A and B are shown apart, each in its own frame.
Chain A
Amino acid sequence: MNDRKDREVRTDRLGMPVQAENYTASRPPGWQGQLGGCGIASCISLKGGRIDGDRIARMLTIMEERENGLGAGYACYGLFPERRDQYCLQFFFDDEEGKQAVEDFLDGRLDILHDEKVFLRERSTISPPYPLVWRYFANVPHAREWRGTRDLGEEDYLVELVQHINERVPKAFCVSSGKDMAVFKGNGYSYEIADLYDLGRYSGTMWLSHSRFPTNSPAWWAGAHPLSLLDWGVCHNGEITSYGVNRKLVEMNGYKCTVLTDTEVVTYLWDLLVRRNGLPTEVAAFVMAPSTFQEISLLPPAERRLAEWLRITYKEAFLNGPFSIIVGRSQPDISLIALADRKKLRPMIAGLSPNEEVAYCASEESAIRIVEPDARTWAPGAGNPFIAVAGKGIVRRGTEPSFQGVSL
């Protein structure tokens, strides 16, 4: 084998260096032949109580076999009760320069009320470098202008700022930007990330989590799940085969794809469909994982019209390919949405604690059983959303007919 160090830099036709390593008869180092798939887990206190960070870490880490150490993350909702109405922007910075650039950019654009370093242990088994993680609590000013558009809505304005930072500001990445929530993620195993951020120090009403087994996108800190915009957080197991057409739809609506992974379009689609277009959650879930036209033809007339209209109007929002996703938001209420593709090609199990106070959703039943041995579990159907809302309980178990409860 030739020495890998003493060779010419390989470039493509534009003269850019090509980084791809090449291996012939010797195996690439660090790879083991193994089957995997991402692991997702979540829990929500239905009465608005608080759940410890250790609990979600135990749920996620038991599915160790589903990850390969190339990304894991947690999102906590209901995390800042005393700053519930302020936006919490949490950033990764490569160094102080990135932090300065973001602070310069935000100066005058947001009213920053408080900022603090997010705790990170100094030692971890994850290979360095680690980013500087910082959070800012901010209010959106009354005068909101972005690129000549005046009086943008608060949330639209924040979306523009966050996307500008992620696209244009070097050495900085905004990983979460919602009210009363934050994302803790990085490029390591689930237990390494839980340990690195010391999740036990946090508690919240709802937790989402994800351990990654990247198959078609690079592993990097900001690319780990949950992927978040405003208060939306999305954890995803699977592939979005229709990424190209979904990406066109969200880009036409002003979103910028900056994370190098298919899951981010799911985040933007939820924001587009539910926050901007005002679809009820069940209807947005139908748009993403719709029934076949054959199944639609068997629905009662009013529902059939709605289903056909949705499929035609939102055909670019149809997520094709195998997936199961867990979605969270904090506005107007803290809610958990779990959805599998319409053929259920990725696993999803829901559970409820015996005292009916905590609801769970995870890839594997063991993730629920390890924290709630006597939980009642069931499997939400293909393309059938599970919805739980803090303060309201389980709104939908994921076993009901498509549009039950939706006023037509």
Chain B
Amino acid sequence: MKDVCKPKGHAHECDCGKECLKVEGDRAVIDLSLSPAQPMHYTTLNCVMRKAMRRGCSSIELKGVMGQRYLASTASAPDLYIAVHGTPGNDLGAFLNGPTIEVFGNAQDMTGNTMNSGRIIVHGNAWDVTGLAARGGQILVKGDTGYRVGIHMKEFGGSRPTMVIGGTAKDYLGEYMAGGTILVLGLGGGAPVGRSLGAGMHGGRIFVRGTVGLEQLGPGAAIVPLSPDDEKEVRGLLGEFENAFGAEVPGEMSEYVKVAPSSSRPFSGYYDKTNV
């Protein structure tokens, strides 16, 4: 029989009777090893986290995270800092609106799904579909990422998502990208990006340190020279990456390639009846 450690209905309180949340001042520590159900269910953990947020904590430290999904999703306190020790599950920080999440380990898939603002810092790898549909905020990944990273990122008004990947990204990076910036550093060797790069992109920009072959570009993407504004943006992002991870990054601008949309309507004529 499996231990149950699930919240009661929608009361946002778990019912196990053991307190895994400890609050000192405005700092909260949630130790998952105290849960009777191993691993703790993600609905329970998210309820405990929301409890800490309601108490006005400005810092939440999670210990022993093991695949729990949707952590800090929709969290919206701008000054909140969340430290995650362990392996967070899919959709970490989905719809995040303000807080900073720092992961000391690897993140799974769909980190920062549709995030609005805030920061997600991953000190390991963040696998497939990281930062999908992000519409603001920043994602920094020290290691590698997987496939379809940053698909359909978009920007509007003052919201402009940025993502820096220290290692490599695989195929379909920035597919259908409508705005924002992705920077791939390719530290640690290997091809920095895969194939179908920026397929169907009609906004935003992708900077890659290293070489990008024309055969790697998806339809709608083109290699264009870096403008002085672009160089300034890349230097700014490199500074943030160095601050977050304490890692030195080569800043020679001639090593960077910019990939941008070849037009604002990459599929013009595909679906437009008047153009058939």
Q: Mark B187-202, 1 if CB is under 8 A from A, else 0.
A: 0000000010000000
Partner pick for B108 among A294, A343, A364, A381, CB 8 A cutoff:
A364
Instruction: Confirm or deny: B11 has a beta carbon within 8 angstroms of a beta carbon on chain A.
Output: no
Contacts of B136 in A (CB 8 A): none
A364 and B215 in contact, given A63-B67, A343-B147, A344-B171 (Cβ under 8 angstroms): no
Bound-state CA distance A207–B184 (Å) is 37
Question: Nearest CB to that of B127 among chain A residues?
Answer: A379
**Nearest Cβ on chain B to A65's Cβ, whole angstroms:** 6
Question: Are B86 and A365 in contact, CB atoms less than 8 angstroms apart?
Answer: no
Whether A125 touches B1, Cβ cut-off 8 Å, given contacts A294-B215, A344-B171, A347-B109, is yes
Q: How many pairs of residues, A versus B, come closer than 8 Å at their CB atoms?
A: 64
Report yes or no: A381 in contact with B170, Cβ–Cβ below 8 A.
Answer: yes
B112 part of interface (Cβ distance < 8 Å): no
CA distance A366 to B125 in the complex (A): 13
Q: Which A-chain residue is minimally distant from B109 (CB atoms)? A: A347
With contact pairs A365-B108, A366-B67 given, residues A344 and B1 touching in the complex (Cβ less than 8 Å): no
Taken together as a complex, chains A and B put the C-alpha atoms of A125 and B16 apart, in Å, by 21
| Nearest B-chain residue to A62, judged by Cβ | B67
Interface residues of A in 283-314 (CB under 8 A from B): 294-295, 298
Q: Find chain A residues with CB under 8 A from B99 CB.
A: none
B91 (CB) vs chain A CBs: closest residue: A35
Select one of B1, B39, B69, B106 contacting A370, CB under 8 A: B39
* Listed residue (A62, A295, A366, A381) with the most chain B CB atoms within 10 angstroms of its CB: A366
Tell yes or no: A134 within 8 A of B by CB.
no
Could you mark each residue 147-167 of chain B with 1 if its beta carbon is under 8 Å from any beta carbon of chain A, else 0? 110000000000000000000
A65 to B144, CA, bound (A): 25
B 109-142 to A, binary, CB cutoff 8 A, 1 in contact else 0: 1000000000000000101100000000000000
Q: State how many residues of chain A have any CB contact under 8 Å with chain B.
A: 24
The residues in A between 60 and 100 inclusive whose CB is less than 8 angstroms from any CB of B are: 62-65
Question: Are the C-beta atoms of A191 and B2 separated by less than 8 Å?
Answer: yes
A365 and B106 contact, CB distance less than 8 A? yes
Interchain CA distance A367-B86 in the complex, whole Å: 12
Give the size category of B's interface with A.
Answer: 20 to 34
CB within 8 A of A377: which of B66, B89, B106, B148? B106
Tell whether A349 is near chain B: CB-to-CB under 8 Å: yes
Residues of chain A within 8 A of B2, CB atoms compared: 191
The reply to whether A349 and B67 form a contact with Cβ atoms under 8 Å apart is no
Docked-complex contact B66 and A62, CB < 8 angstroms: yes
- Given the contacts A295-B195, A379-B146, A364 and B90 also touching, CB distance less than 8 Å: yes
Q: Does B46 contact A (CB under 8 A)?
A: no
Please tell me if B42 contacts chain A, counting CB pairs below 8 Å.
yes
Answer yes or no: B87 CB below 8 A from chain A CBs: yes
Check if A349 sits within 8 Å of B86, measured CB to CB. Answer: no
CB distance from B45 to the nearest CB of A (A): 12
Residues of B within 8 A of A365 (CB): 67, 87, 106, 108, 127
Of B39, B86, B87, B125, most A-chain CB atoms within 10 Å: B87
Closest chain B residue to A65, Cβ basis: B69
Cα separation A347 to B111 with both chains bound (whole Å): 14
In the assembled complex, B176 has its CB within 8 A of some CB on chain A: no
* Distance of A31 from chain B, by nearest CB (Å): 18
A195: chain B residues within 8 A (beta carbon): 1
- Do A366 and B146 form a contact, CB below 8 Å, given A62-B66, A295-B195? no
Question: What residues of chain B lie closer than 8 Å to A62, measured between beta carbons?
Answer: 39, 66-67
Are B170 and A366 within 8 A (Cβ)?
Answer: no
Known: A344-B146, A364-B109, A370-B66. 19 other contacts (CB 8 A): A65-B42, A65-B89, A195-B1, A298-B215, A343-B147, A344-B128, A344-B170, A347-B108, A347-B109, A349-B127, A364-B89, A367-B67, A369-B66, A369-B86, A370-B67, A379-B125, A379-B144, A382-B170, A382-B171
A-binding residues in B (CB < 8 A) = 1-2, 39, 41-42, 66-67, 69, 86-87, 89-90, 106, 108-109, 125, 127-128, 144, 146-148, 170-172, 195, 215
